[in-house]
């Protein structure tokens, strides 16, 4: 109820908007039509079944909990995670996937399921591999491609 009161202070939101946003905040299902409506008005972000309030909704409330929740939901951009993986492998050398998961998964958006988080890690590693940044030296072990080249040149 406090949340609905916070939203009601925003005069740009209709009663229908507030009711739908309350459902999103409580992680209740919304229809595709409702989601499309809220997305078009830029009131929610995320993907199906993992919607969260946009910054455009959180900021005017000036509620610290709501804004921090938005930041947790939003997470960081993919480039940040790829740079983090590269830096970790650079410092660590050969690195097991489990170590990379332990580094990345806690920083991913809280709206993602465990399976989605593991898929994200897989996608990051795959992209870095196809871009020629890292290689898999054995099952579940990754290292920088440049290190491998240097080792081949100096037996």
Task: Mark whether 59 and 96 lie in a shared domain.
Answer: no
**7 with 66, same domain?**
yes
pLDDT digits (tens, 9 = 90+) for 6-29: 777 778 888 899 889 989 888 899
Last residue of some domain: 74, 92, 127?
74
- Do 61 and 97 lie in one domain? The reply is no
Domain boundary among 56, 74, 92: 74
DSSP code per residue over the chain: -HHHHHHHT-TTS-HHHHHHHHHHHTT----HHHHHHHHHTT-EEEETTEEEE-HHHHHHHT-HHHHHHHHHHH---HHHHHHHHHHHHHHHSSEEHHHHHHHHGGGS-TTS-HHHHHHHHHHHHHHHHHTTSEEEEETTEEEEHHHHHHHHH--
Look up the domain containing 129 and give its range.
78-153
Q: Are residues 102 and 62 in the same domain?
A: no
Residues 81-103: tens digit of each pLDDT: 999 999 999 999 899 999 999 99
């Amino acid at each position: 109820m406090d949340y609905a009161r916070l939203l009601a202070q925003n005069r740009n939101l209709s009663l229908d908007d507030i009711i739908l946003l309350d459902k999103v905040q409580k992680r209740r299902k919304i229809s595709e039509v409702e989601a499309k409506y809220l997305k078009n008005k830029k009131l929610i972000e995320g993907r199906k079944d993992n919607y969260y309030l946009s910054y455009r909704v959180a900021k005017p409330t000036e509620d610290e909990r709501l804004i921090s929740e938005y930041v947790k939901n939003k997470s960081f951009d993919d480039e940040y995670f790829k740079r983090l993986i590269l830096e970790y492998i650079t410092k660590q050398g050969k690195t097991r996937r489990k170590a990379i998961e332990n580094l990345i998964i806690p920083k991913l958006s809280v709206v993602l399921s465990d399976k989605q988080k593991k898929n994200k890690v897989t996608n990051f590693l795959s992209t870095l591999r196809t871009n020629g940044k890292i290689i898999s030296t054995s099952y579940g072990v990754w290292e920088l491609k440049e290190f491998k080249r240097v080792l081949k040149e100096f037996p």
